[in-house]
Structure 1
Amino acid sequence: MQSNLVMFPIAEFSRQDTQVKEKSVTQYERAEQQFLELLATEDLDNNLDKKFAIIRDFEKAVAMAIDTAYEHDSQDNSAHCFLQRILYWINRLNLFWYDDLRRYTNERSLYLSSCRNHIEASWQKWELAQIDVTELKNLNVKQALIERANADLEPLLSPASRYIREEMSKTGYCHLLAIASFDGLVEGSRLSRILGGAANEVQCTLVRVLLEEYGNGRLSRKHSTFFAKMLDEFGMNTEPEGYFDLVPWEVLACANHNFLLTERRRYYLRYSGGLTYFEVAGPAAYKNYLVAAQRLGLSDAAMGYWELHIKEDERHGRWMLEDVALPLAELYPDDAWELLLGYDQEKLMSDRAAKAVVNSIRQAEKIKY
């Protein structure tokens, strides 16, 4: 990955925007820089007193962002983005990036853990409020999973999907690749964190999914390698997180949500339900991107990743439903509704992220950078 941690771009406001809003955005920008300084502090937990002023200002910004984003349910993207970026900087320490080992000096910091837990508590409460959990608990879980999977396998085209298929330009396609590289270049990494433990058919199915994502141990066949080839075809940056500043908070939220679910064994069913949706619905999204690339007359290298995923994820979707979700519903009859919660949350958050990505693409096409 790149050696320098990056700042997120501040939105440009019109002259009519209030000074208070401008001040809050500037404060978030400054607070993230302060947090990155804390992240790099040697033995942070034993040096908190030396960083008192920085910690005070940072925590003040976090409190303001939580109040704005979750308590008042504001549409202020800067507050959401700040919080999701902070969570991501902490969560990414759970993966190894083959970079400077000193970056992991605080990977078990109690202070960083408390920051993550504080933000997650408010964020997850806000996310859960958007799902009718009571209704899920009253459903026939296996029937509901099958019905959801059948509906999401070939959904009707949304306005966003039609835009990608029929209107998106080459500039927009490159912007799509830039944002998608955030996940595409480290694909499957979070799945690896739930595979340990007792062996059974469910575990073995998940291992099979991971192995295919990782090209069965061959770098040339790893899915991220195919994604890098698409980027390379346009002379784009192929380093993980190379376009981090372009990633909407809605996409970051999906990543952070998966970090949370794979970090907690208690959320195993929720993660399995979410992964079931991801694998079932993936081919439909990738077909949109493939159609766009074909319409633009792009080379095989510029679209190869989508073709690979359409073929493999159709299989993965069946595996996840038939060999993971449904067996887990039988194994945990009293908690099986959590599979539906994970499924529905992943769908909700993915749809939200997709809309944000299309909005970002439209803006990029206006700029034509």
Structure 2
Amino acid sequence: MKLPSARGPLSAEVIDALAHPPHDLPTLPDAAGDEDLHLTLFVLYELHYRGWDGVDDHWEWHPGLIALRAGLETRFEADLRDLAGEIPATGDVPHALIAMAGETGGPSLSGYLRGRATREQFCEFAQHRSVYHLREADPHTFAIPRLAGKAKAALIEIQIDEYGGGAANRMHQEMFRDTMTELGLDTTYGAYVDVVPWQTLANNNLMSLFGLHRRWRGALLGHLAGYEMTSTGPNRAYGNALRRLGGSETATRFYDEHVEADAVHEQIAAYDMCGSFCRAEPALAADVLFGARCVLAMEDRWAAYVLERWAAGESSLRWTP
């Protein structure tokens, strides 16, 4: 993946530094705003995934970059606390997750796509989602070595499905690539990082924040549960939207697979994974609920942004590739 274009003074300095061999960093400017902050975080987090073209792998654990990332994460976490609100104490985490997943109030992007979206708008939707779906499951896999017992087994059960049971063509990442191919989109990993707004990058940064810190292992499980427990209905809508727009069985397979798989995963995630984890580590129950609340709130924020731009007759992308 090529390094993206800067969105402010901090991301400009970091991207310029990464284009050279590892070296001591000068005093860096503060992030200029959400675009600058979340692009910088995304660039730093990607060093722990597949990296950037031409960037020395020794940058991954460079002390200066780790210190910078920690400061940006502090700002990000403060935003998350404001967004998530108060997390009530409860000893029944599975039922609290079910109640949380059933809460409505956010805009229905899936309903708009199912009934009204143009093909161009669905393509935009796929470009936003490609930043996550082309590495789907990878952030949550960081939790596996940090768990034990039934919670670990439950997470692995979910992840095995995400990775296609070992068959490359059944991996959800590859199924989404098939969807993008039929839509005429660039299937290169990270191809649309430059054009998506900070709200999209923030959704991806949330997974990396939780995944790369052992202290957030409970929040990472809650994040995954939040996804799995609210996925079936929207994915059915996405598949039907694509069929309405002329999509083939190959194009809709990614969404149809999630309708079936996530109906099972939501029970595993709530009871076997999160329930078992909280019985083993009850002090982290609030973190589990925090992770779920964060993903639901941030998805609502992102959907509101996309629908607002479309209602104004504008693209939801920063610019059209």
TM-score (norm 2): 0.89
| Residue 20 (structure 2) aligned to one of 23, 35, 41 | 41
> Structure 2, unaligned stretches of length 5 or more?
none
| Cα distance change, pair 113–159 in 1 and its aligned pair in 2 (3 A) | same
The count of residues paired between Structure 1 and Structure 2 equals: 318
Bigger RCO of structures 1 and 2 (CA < 8 A, at least 6 apart): 2
| Cα distance change, pair 330–288 in 1 and its aligned pair in 2 (3 A) | same
Residue pairs, 1:175-194, within 5 angstroms: 175-194=124-143
Code of the residue aligned with 2:96 in structure 1: it is: A
- Residues 200-221 of structure 1: CA deviation (Å, up to 9, x unaligned): 1110111121121111222111
| Cα distance change, pair 241–254 in 1 and its aligned pair in 2 (3 A) | same
Find the counterpart in structure 2 of residue 20 from structure 1: none
| Residue 333 (structure 1) aligned to one of 278, 282, 287 | 282
Shift of 1:121: 0.7
| Residue 89 (structure 1) aligned to one of 43, 46, 58 | 43
Find the counterpart in structure 1 of residue 76 from structure 2: 123
Find the counterpart in structure 2 of residue 319 from structure 1: 268
| Cα distance change, pair 44–357 in 1 and its aligned pair in 2 (3 A) | farther
Specify the SS of the correspondent of 1:278: helix
Shift of 1:324: 0.9
Shift of 1:140: 4.8
Code of the residue aligned with 1:5 in structure 2: it is: L
| Residue 244 (structure 2) aligned to one of 290, 295, 301 | 295
Find the counterpart in structure 1 of residue 157 from structure 2: 208
**Residue 42 of structure 2 contacts residue 205 of structure 2 at CA under 8 Å; is this kept in 1?**
yes
Say if 2:318 is the partner of 1:364: no
Find the counterpart in structure 2 of residue 265 from structure 1: 214
1:132, 1:180 → 2: CA distance? 26
Shift of 1:170: 0.8
**Residue 146 of structure 2 contacts residue 217 of structure 2 at CA under 8 Å; is this kept in 1?**
no
Code of the residue aligned with 1:34 in structure 2: it is: E
Specify the SS of the correspondent of 2:60: coil
Find the counterpart in structure 2 of residue 349 from structure 1: 298
1:198, 1:122 → 2: CA distance? 28
Specify the SS of the correspondent of 1:136: coil
Stretch moving more, 136-145 or 325-334: 136-145
Find the counterpart in structure 1 of residue 88 from structure 2: 136
| Cα distance change, pair 119–263 in 1 and its aligned pair in 2 (3 A) | same
Moved over 6 A (4+): 365-369
**Residue 160 of structure 2 contacts residue 166 of structure 2 at CA under 8 Å; is this kept in 1?**
yes
**Residue 136 of structure 1 contacts residue 341 of structure 1 at CA under 8 Å; is this kept in 2?**
no
Query: Of the two, which has the highest radius of gyration?
Result: 1
- Residues 109-147 of structure 1: CA deviation (Å, up to 9, x unaligned): 1111111111111221122023333x5126754432233
**Residue 108 of structure 2 contacts residue 303 of structure 2 at CA under 8 Å; is this kept in 1?**
no
Say if 2:257 is the partner of 1:308: yes
2:139, 2:106 → 1: CA distance? 29
Stretch moving more, 136-145 or 122-131: 136-145
| Residue 148 (structure 1) aligned to one of 92, 97, 100 | 100
Shift of 1:81: 1.3
> Structure 1, unaligned stretches of length 5 or more?
9-27, 66-78
| Cα distance change, pair 144–29 in 1 and its aligned pair in 2 (3 A) | closer
**Residue 329 of structure 1 contacts residue 336 of structure 1 at CA under 8 Å; is this kept in 2?**
yes
Code of the residue aligned with 1:132 in structure 2: it is: G
1:325, 1:162 → 2: CA distance? 29
Find the counterpart in structure 2 of residue 107 from structure 1: 60
Stretch moving more, 217-226 or 155-164: 155-164
**Residue 248 of structure 1 contacts residue 357 of structure 1 at CA under 8 Å; is this kept in 2?**
no
Specify the SS of the correspondent of 2:315: helix
TM-score (norm 1): 0.78
1:95, 1:358 → 2: CA distance? 30
Find the counterpart in structure 2 of residue 15 from structure 1: none
Shift of 1:157: 8.9
Say if 2:234 is the partner of 1:282: no
**Residue 7 of structure 1 contacts residue 29 of structure 1 at CA under 8 Å; is this kept in 2?**
no
**Residue 90 of structure 2 contacts residue 96 of structure 2 at CA under 8 Å; is this kept in 1?**
no
What is the RMSD of the two structures over their aligned residues, measured on CA atoms? 2.6
Stretch moving more, 124-133 or 182-191: 124-133
Code of the residue aligned with 2:314 in structure 1: it is: Q
Residue pairs, 1:213-292, within 5 angstroms: 213-292=162-241
Specify the SS of the correspondent of 2:231: helix
**Residue 171 of structure 1 contacts residue 364 of structure 1 at CA under 8 Å; is this kept in 2?**
no
Code of the residue aligned with 2:4 in structure 1: it is: V
